[in-house]
């Protein structure tokens, strides 16, 4: 680590975005203080600050790559904890409209850790950084600024004890990673600044999750069974064995536009029966339920357009879901936070604290592709409000056709998985090698690549 950019930076929120930011900031500041209202140390289970942590989570391929580069050996830690990695294509059963996309090895690693397990191991890595300090069980009350409000110089916090007093954490830089409930728009307004404009896509989504002890193994060597929701079949599911115990499985059901998976056991089971993939119902109908169904509602995707503000105080940045909160079925949130942390590092490597306008402009470029992918896909549902441009209608029709042809064409499956995994930009689906297969499929092309045979250790058997 070279000369420090500053003495202290305060990160508001112990989210994935907050921890990834702290990792990068530790290279450029003498002290990094991460503040959160929850107890964090040694917490390996669900916590209040992550209400969606009880439900299926996914770290797509690009996110895995970034986390492993930032925390070398993290995947080994997860494997030691019982997580079994595999291939994003060859080891996951992807279904669209009841038909399985043709599998093959994509070369992209899937590490199917639950959100609590992933957070726990990442948090331990961050807490081990010598100049990072966690302030746990603190409420965050606001920002401290210069008298004219032109610069943020700290944050006002208060420990959640009966006899505690408010205190000011002075800082050279404050970063808000408090999630979709971020108070920064309100704080800006109180300081005489404009709120950021918001792009909103109302989807009225709900996850309902239940755990089972299975009487038989429906997975074989696969990591998960995922019937993805589509406009033609808007009910979806994520079904996978939990780390370290293949007999225990987690089933998260998804429903959009108010068609929410019920929380009563009978209604939950009927919703499972309605899925276009009967193998999930066959697996749970004689399984032992381990808990009651629990619901998490997600009403609207929101992108806050900080990059469009003409005035913004120095000494303050915003990252993660506090900037852009995606429809969680696309599993983009954690990976986008990781991409933003790389932007933060690039700015810090210039030897100065990031200028807010430049930082927001650069993370907006990272947000464009995943936002367009998620928002455009959601607008494929007739009941979702929003402007459907000719581009959106054409792209959605093209992707629907690609998914249908991918049932027999592993090349198209891999192309789709690479875009969904934020490895390739969406426009690569229109590359001539993909465009020809979608618009003019042939029997020779449709043959695709057969799924590789694997041994008991999961290694490809060469024939």
pLDDT tens digits along 221-242: 999 999 999 999 999 999 999 8
> Does a structural domain hold residue 460?
no
What is the pLDDT averaged over residues 50-75? 86
Residues 35 and 144 placed together within one structural domain of the fold = yes
Answer whether residue 461 is part of any domain.
Answer: no
- In-domain check, residue 383: no
Domain identity same for 316 and 420: no
At residue 54, the pLDDT reads: 73
Please tell me whether residues 125 and 47 are part of one structural domain.
Answer: yes
Does residue 52 have a pLDDT over 80? Answer: no
Residue 261 lies in a domain: yes
Buried b (16+ CB within 10 A) or exposed e, 361-386: ebbbebbebbbebbbbbbbbbeebeb
Shortest CA distance to 108 belongs to which of 427, 437, 415? 415
The alpha-carbon radius of gyration of the chain (Å, integer) is 23
Residue 452 has pLDDT above 60, yes or no: no
Q: Running DSSP on this structure, what letter comes out for residue 356?
A: H
Q: Is the pTM of this model over 0.85?
A: yes
Is 92 a domain residue? Answer: yes
Are 19 and 123 within 8 A, CB to CB? yes
User: Among 374, 402, 420, where does a domain finish?
Assistant: 374
- Rounded Cα–Cα distance for residues 163 and 173 (Å): 29
In a domain, 111, yes or no: no
Q: Say yes or no to pLDDT of 298 above 90.
A: yes
Q: What does DSSP assign to residue 460?
A: B
The answer on 74 and 122 residing in a single domain is yes
What is the CATH classification number for the domain harbouring 155?
3.50.50.60
- CATH number, domain of 277, equals 3.30.9.90
Tell me if 382 is assigned to some domain: no
* 428 and 284 in a common domain: no
Contact 229, 302 (CB under 8 A): no
- List the domain range (segments joined by +) for residue 171: 6-81+116-199+302-374
Report yes or no on 72 lying in a domain. Answer: yes
**pLDDT averaged over every residue in the chain:** 91
Compute the C-alpha angle 64/40/7, nearest 5°.
Answer: 80
Residue range 109-133: mean pLDDT, rounded: 93
pLDDT at 463: 33
Band of pLDDT at residue 245, cut at 50, 70 and 90: low
Check whether residue 42 and residue 146 sit in a common domain.
yes
The last residue of a domain, from among 333, 349, 374: 374
pLDDT at 126 over 50: yes
Alpha helices in 101-151, H assignment, sequence order: 115-127
Strand pairing category for 173-176 and 316-318 = parallel
Give how many domains the chain has, as a whole number: 3
- Dihedral sign for Cα atoms in the order 128, 38, 63, 25: negative
Express each pLDDT in 160-210 by its tens digit: 987 888 999 999 999 999 999 999 999 999 999 999 999 999 999 999 999
* 306 vs 165 pLDDT, higher one: 306
Q: Does residue 262 share a domain with residue 170?
A: no
Percent composition of the chain: helix, strand, coil (DSSP 3-state, to 5): 35, 25, 40
| Same-domain pairing of 152 and 294 | no
Predicted local distance difference test score (pLDDT) of residue 244:
59
Residue 377 carries which DSSP code?
H
The reply to whether 124 and 195 lie within a common domain is yes
- Which among 325, 345, 374 is the end of a domain? 374
């Amino acid at each position: 680590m070279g000369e420090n950019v500053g003495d202290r930076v305060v990160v508001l929120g112990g989210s994935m975005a907050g921890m990834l930011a702290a990792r990068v900031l530790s290279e450029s500041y003498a002290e990094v203080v991460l503040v959160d209202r929850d107890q964090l140390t040694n917490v390996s289970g669900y916590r209040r600050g992550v209400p969606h942590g009880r439900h299926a989570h996914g770290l797509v391929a690009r996110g895995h790559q970034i986390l492993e580069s930032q925390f070398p050996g993290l995947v080994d830690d997860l494997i030691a904890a019982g997580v079994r990695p595999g291939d994003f294509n060859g080891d996951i059963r992807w279904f669209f409209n009841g038909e399985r996309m043709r599998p093959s090895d994509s070369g992209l690693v899937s590490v199917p850790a639950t959100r609590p397990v992933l957070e726990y191991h990442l948090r331990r890595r961050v807490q081990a950084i010598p100049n990072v300090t966690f302030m746990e069980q603190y409420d965050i009350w606001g920002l401290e600024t210069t008298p004219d409000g032109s610069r943020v110089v700290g944050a006002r916090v208060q420990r959640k004890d009966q006899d505690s007093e408010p205190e000011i954490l002075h800082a050279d830089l404050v970063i808000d990673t408090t999630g979709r409930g971020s108070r920064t728009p309100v704080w800006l307004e109180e300081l005489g600044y404009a709120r950021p404009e918001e792009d909103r896509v109302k989807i009225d989504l709900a996850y309902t999750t239940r755990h089972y002890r299975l009487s038989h193994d429906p997975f074989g060597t696969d990591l998960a069974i995922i019937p993805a929701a589509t406009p033609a079949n808007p009910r979806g599911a994520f079904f996978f064995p939990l780390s370290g115990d293949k007999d225990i499985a987690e089933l998260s059901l998804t429903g959009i536009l108010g068609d929410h998976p019920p929380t009563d056991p009978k209604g939950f089971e009927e919703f499972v029966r309605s899925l276009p993939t009967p193998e999930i119902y066959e697996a749970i109908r004689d399984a032992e339920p381990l808990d009651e169904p629990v619901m998490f509602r997600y009403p609207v995707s929101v992108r806050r357009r900080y990059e469009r503000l003409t005035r913004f105080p120095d000494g303050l940045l915003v990252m993660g879901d506090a900037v852009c909160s995606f429809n969680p079925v696309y599993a983009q949130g954690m990976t986008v936070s990781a991409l933003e942390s790389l932007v933060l590092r690039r700015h810090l490597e210039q030897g100065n604290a990031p200028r807010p306008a430049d930082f927001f402009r650069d993370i907006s470029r990272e947000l464009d592709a995943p936002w367009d992918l998620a928002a455009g896909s959601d607008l494929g549902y007739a009941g979702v409000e929003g402007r459907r441009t000719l581009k959106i209608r054409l792209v959605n029709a093209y992707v629907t056709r690609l998914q249908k042809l991918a049932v027999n064409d592993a090349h198209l499956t891999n192309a789709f998985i690479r875009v969904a995994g934020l490895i390739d930009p969406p426009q690569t689906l229109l590359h001539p090698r993909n465009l020809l297969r979608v618009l003019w499929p042939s029997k020779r092309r449709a043959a695709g690549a057969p799924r590789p045979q694997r041994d008991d250790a999961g290694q490809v058997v060469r024939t």
